[in-house]
Amino acid sequence: MSKTPESETIFAKMSWLFRGKRFKDSSFSWVVCVCSAVCNAVNLGFALSFGVLFPELMEYFDETRERTALVGSAALGMLWFASPLAGYLCDRFGCRITTFLGGLLCMTGLASTSFVKSLTLMYLTHSLVLGLGACFIYNSCYLVIGQYFKEKLSIATGVVALGASLGVLYTGPLLQVLLDSFQWRGALRMMIAFYGVVCYLSLAFNPNVEDITSVETINSHADGDGKKGISLYCSVWTFPTFTVVVVSLMFGSFGMYIPYINLVTFSEDLGISAQKASLLFIFIGLASSVARLISGRLCHYKKVNPVFIYQSSMLLAGLSAFVLPFAAKYWHLVAFSVTYGLSDGIFITTQCFILLSCVDSKRTTASFCINNVLYALTATAGGPIAGMIADKTGNYVYSFYMTGAVLIVAFLIPMMLIVINRRKSTVHPQNVEEVENEKSVHGDSNAGLAL
């Protein structure tokens, strides 16, 4: 039976969606950017709103703060820890398939978690299965932006990062409404539909982008010196900016997610209801959204040093964590939420942009994945340690003091780049390529960028 002209047209459109060529910095690139931002909103919005579920689970299973916080912290940790696997899947099968698979894993994790009978099983269903799916989505959302953008990479990164803050803005209050209406098991089942949207939007991540060749990506796992596999991944440590910023990010990730996990419980200790406390995530999300847009735009200018912008987020977060124990009224928590949201927005946008641009294009995936593994270890530890201190002392005062101190250390670490190299850092993709070209011509062994 021959195809009609109409059916041929429909088939051609579908074929173009899945196999047609794409161009960097094109109008379709922004379609991919928006789809990636929405996926990021669903994914990180839910992961960072675990604090709303925290008191409900702690009461239902009659568990300590430490053990309950570990469920959410371990899920966050897995979101970054499995990045090498996610990076391999993105290189081998493309960001589209990896994101779709991640969405299916998250749906499976949510469905199975809604039936568990003990908190221990949640470490498997929520922390491992859902966390692994979230990792696939998270890495794909940023790596696909690296494929579709070059000149406007910083702006696109800011838009994708904005998705996460918007996700926090609506997911926190939404989860509380679902908890009040359907309890925690029903709330998790309702969230499955959102990850179905992620699977649908991932179809836009067409891998056929012009100028993406084996020389420019890690797909070939080889660089100009013939390095392959693990050697290519290890070579990212020769870039001073990458090395120093990753060490700083390990400290930063330890402290940045402690308020997300413990804010609702801390509010209840002050006599504030869970319903009012969940609304604090709206203030965090709004402030973070503004900060992500502004910092993404600032990173676009060559004269602006993204490392300095990143440091400002650590300083702001550290100081806000130090004053949080003095909060006694609801408006105090609102003020903290706005300040913390600003620091969170700057932190996420600048770290992603630096990781995507402080190494050459052959090592982009390696840079992103290696950082995420180390980032995961400390991010996982932060919540349970803060919970353990609160269990031992009976309040969160020393937990937040510890959080502030760690974040200040993260602020100070990048100062090492001044000692390594006094040149002003220009953490931009085109400048990294210029450095690499200069090395090949003059044999310069000092790879990477510094302050």
Burial track 24-37 (b if 16+ CB lie within 10 A, e otherwise) = beeeebbebbebbb
**Residue the block writes with tokens 């960072």:** 48
CATH architecture of the domain with range 28-207+223-428: Up-down Bundle (1.20)
User: Which residues lie closer than 8 Å to 100 by C-beta, 6 or more apart?
Assistant: 199, 202, 203
Confidence at residue 224, expressed as pLDDT on a 0 to 100 scale: 45
Among 40, 301, 297, CA closest to 145: 40
**What does the pLDDT profile of the chain (451 residues) look like in tens digits?**
455 555 556 655 555 555 566 777 778 888 889 999 999 999 988 888 888 888 888 888 888 888 888 888 888 888 888 888 888 898 888 889 999 999 999 999 999 999 999 888 999 999 999 999 999 999 898 888 888 887 777 788 778 877 877 887 788 888 888 888 898 999 999 999 999 999 999 988 877 776 543 333 333 334 444 455 678 778 888 888 888 889 999 999 898 888 877 888 888 888 888 788 878 888 888 888 888 888 878 877 778 888 889 999 999 999 999 999 898 889 999 999 999 989 988 988 888 788 877 877 778 778 878 888 888 888 888 888 888 888 888 888 899 999 999 999 999 998 887 766 555 444 544 445 554 554 444 444 333 344 5
Give the closest residue to 39 by CA, choosing from 194, 260, 208.
194
Tokens linked to 52:
């709303």
The tokens for 168 are 């926090």
Taking residue 226's Cβ as centre, other Cβ atoms within 10 Å add up to 8
Helix segments in 48-130, DSSP class H: 50-61, 65-81, 83-93, 95-113, 119-122
Burial of 304-326, coded b for 16+ CB within 10 Å and e otherwise, reads bbbbebbbbbbebbbbbbbebbe
pLDDT at residue number 65: 80
According to the model, what pLDDT value does residue 374 have? 87
Give the pLDDT confidence of 215-257 residue by residue, as tens digits.
333 333 344 444 556 787 788 888 888 888 899 999 998 988 8
**Residue whose entry in the numeric block shows the structure tokens 């993709």:** 429
What tokens were used for 141? 């959302």
What does the mean pLDDT of the chain come to?
80
